[in-house]
Amino acid sequence: MSDYTSTARADGAQVPTTFPPRRLWVGGRWRGASGGATYRSENPATLEHICDIADASAEDVDDAVRAAQAAFDGSGWKEMGGAERGRILFRAADLIEADTRYLSALETLEVGKLYRDGVFGDIPATLATFRYYAGYADKLHGSTVQLPDYAGRHRLNYTLREPLGVIGAITPWNNPIVVAGWKIAPALAAGNTVVIKPPEDAALSILRLAEILAEAGVPDGVFNVVPGRGPTAGAALARHPGLAKLTFTGSPEVGALMNTHAGGQFRKVTLELGGKNPQIVFPDADLDRALPFIAVGNFLHQGQVCAAGTRVYVHDSLVEEVTRRLADHAESLTLGDPFDADVAMGPVVNRQQHERIGGYLGLGVAEGAELVTGGSLAQRPGYFVEPTVFLGRHDQRIAREEIFGPVATIIPFSDTTDVLTLANDSHFGLNAIIYTEDLHTAQTTARDLRVGNVWINAFGIPDMTTPWGGRAGSGIGRELGAAGIEAYTEEKTVQMMF
Ligand code: NAD
């Protein structure tokens, strides 16, 4: 797509500014939504209009599912060898790599993500996911089990790993292409076809991905994109009887609706939901190593990260130092244009999130938490929030609910056994971060935390080689790693006597 206007910045970044309307990608071609419906996409840093985006209706979603089913049945995608599908997906990864700056710019423009985080984080992570599953495509197989003879006959059981069919994917705005890649790459590698409903606030990079996949050689109809609103396009996709599987990443509230939408249909589902993740700083933690991770765990992408560790349990002996150093870090963060290399924090994604985070800032004070720094919505145009540190208690709502903003709550603890109880006392169970130099503490705490992922002396983004997912209110199933592609297959057992 080169049909946009852009401005060149002093640092060489080419910043797209306005686009003509964006359409649906169905059956390998662009088309408008039925009735010509569109919605407005807005830049959260400037509040400027970026473009109008087609707003898919239930009828459009139905067309996309039909196109995906026709491609599953007749495009040759599932019959193609895994090596050939892998070759196409490797090519797609190369094209994503070549498009790094443009894709990053789209997400900065729509979501307010730091441009450098896209260039050095999100896009490299996405193409790594594509390469990982491209390499997996010809290594997916079943297993063989030899059984003892029965009544003088030999027996052999084996399993076949088959693609499921049409995969419906519904994704969130916070890491648009990264999270979409966790679904699209393994689903396609395994021979499925896909219909994705991208988030209202971040459809552009996924629409661009449609062009990239087509250029790489993915047949028409194998990959379809239906931008639109959650309660209409999203609900129509989640309800559609043509799906073999629904994979959803988003809030727990909408995640809970997913099975309701399926209305008693038996279908596979993966749900990657939110988190209110603990960071535990044990008394022997090396603070010089831990502090940068504690800070990133709270303020990366303005705190709009499902893995964010925003309840920070700190041993009494370290509370004063951690509080001071985290507050110093928060105060050092420059807010501003997310394209600017000197800026450390962009805006939050939209007005609704801005107001919601503002509500939590007031709530923290009303609940009696000590406001250490920040505490206000920034007084400037755009949806900016001051990075905030509270010194609070485990039972306060700011320490229990997912705020999805740059708001850290430090919670002192004295007993290293009790802190595990506090960390596990949550309806979420996505991940946890622990800081200790003691191997025994590290291993036993990692073992006893009721979460899907533990970082020890580190915080980062999930790695494509190992499974990622939550327990309890944080979801069902796993993405990434071997589990992340097997989830897009059916294992059929064949039992033979000869
Ligand atoms: P959201 O639930 O508001 O929206 C997610 C998607 O669901 C969007 O595409 C939206 O349009 C769609 N949707 C909304 N209402 C719908 C409905 N009634 N029926 C069908 N679809 C509907 O979430 P969000 O605000 O976009 O994302 C933030 C949330 O995502 C946070 O809770 C975050 O923790 C979570 N998240 C989790 C992970 C993970 O790996 N566990 C990763 C990223 C984000």
Atom 42 of ligand 1 has which residue's CA nearest to it? Answer: 306
The Å distance, Cα 174 to ligand 1 centre, comes to: 9
228 CA closest ligand 1 atom index? 11
Would the CB of 274 count as within 6 Å of ligand 1?
yes
pLDDT at residue 2 greater than cutoff 60: no
| pLDDT, tens digit (0-9, with 9 covering 90-100), for 227-250 | 999 999 999 999 999 999 999 999
**What are 428-463's pLDDT values in tens digits?**
999 999 999 999 999 999 999 999 999 999 998 899
Helix axes 176-189, 100-111, angle to 10 degrees: 130
pLDDT value of position 3: 61
CA distance 354 to 425: 28
- Please, which pLDDT band fits residue 484 given cuts at 50, 70 and 90? very high
Mean pLDDT of the region 220-231: 98
Best residue for ligand 1 mutational test, from 178, 306, 451 (most atoms within 8 Å of Cβ): 306
What's the gap in Å between 59 CA and the centre of ligand 1? 22
Tell me the CA–centroid distance for residue 411 and ligand 1, in Å: 28
Question: Active-site positions?
Answer: 272
Task: Report the interhelical angle of 204-216 vs 100-111 (nearest 10°).
Answer: 160
Question: pTM of the predicted model, to two decimals?
Answer: 0.96
- So what's the pLDDT on residue 266? 87
Ligand 1 within 6 A of 142 CB? no
Digit-coded pLDDT (tens) for 257-283: 998 888 888 899 999 999 999 999 999
CA 402 – CA 357 distance, rounded (Å)? 10
Overall average pLDDT of the 99-117 stretch? 94
Domains and CATH numbers, the chain: 6-273+473-495 (3.40.605.10), 278-463 (3.40.309.10)
Quote the pLDDT of residue 381: 93
* Per-residue pLDDT reduced to its tens digit, 287-326: 999 999 999 999 999 999 999 999 999 999 999 999 999 9
Give the pLDDT mean for 474-493: 97
Torsion (CA) 306, 201, 296, 279 in degrees, nearest 10: -20
Q: Across residues 4-27, what is the average pLDDT?
A: 75
Give yes or no for residue 9 having a pLDDT over 70. no
Q: In the 8-state DSSP scheme, what is residue 232?
A: I
In degrees, to the nearest 5, what angle opens at C-alpha 463 toward C-alphas 68 and 298?
110
Mean pLDDT of 29-56: 95
* Ligand 1 atom showing the smallest separation from residue 468 Cα: 40
> Looking at residue 16, what is its pLDDT?
72
Of 188, 216, 17, residue with least CA distance to 105 = 17
Query: Does the Cβ of 272 fall within 6 Å of ligand 1?
Result: yes
Mutate to test the pocket of ligand 1, among 205, 237, 254 (most ligand atoms within 8 A of CB): 254
3-state secondary structure 7-52: EECCCCCEEEEECCCECEEECCEEECCHHHCEEEEECCCCCCEEEE
Average pLDDT, the chain: 95
Cα distances (angstroms) measured from residue 17 to each of 8, 109, 198, 475 = 10, 8, 21, 37
Specify the pLDDT at position 8: 65
Ligand 1 atom with minimal separation from the 197 CA: 9
Give the distance (Å) from ligand 1 centre to CA of residue 361. Answer: 22
CA of 305 to the centre of ligand 1 (A): 12
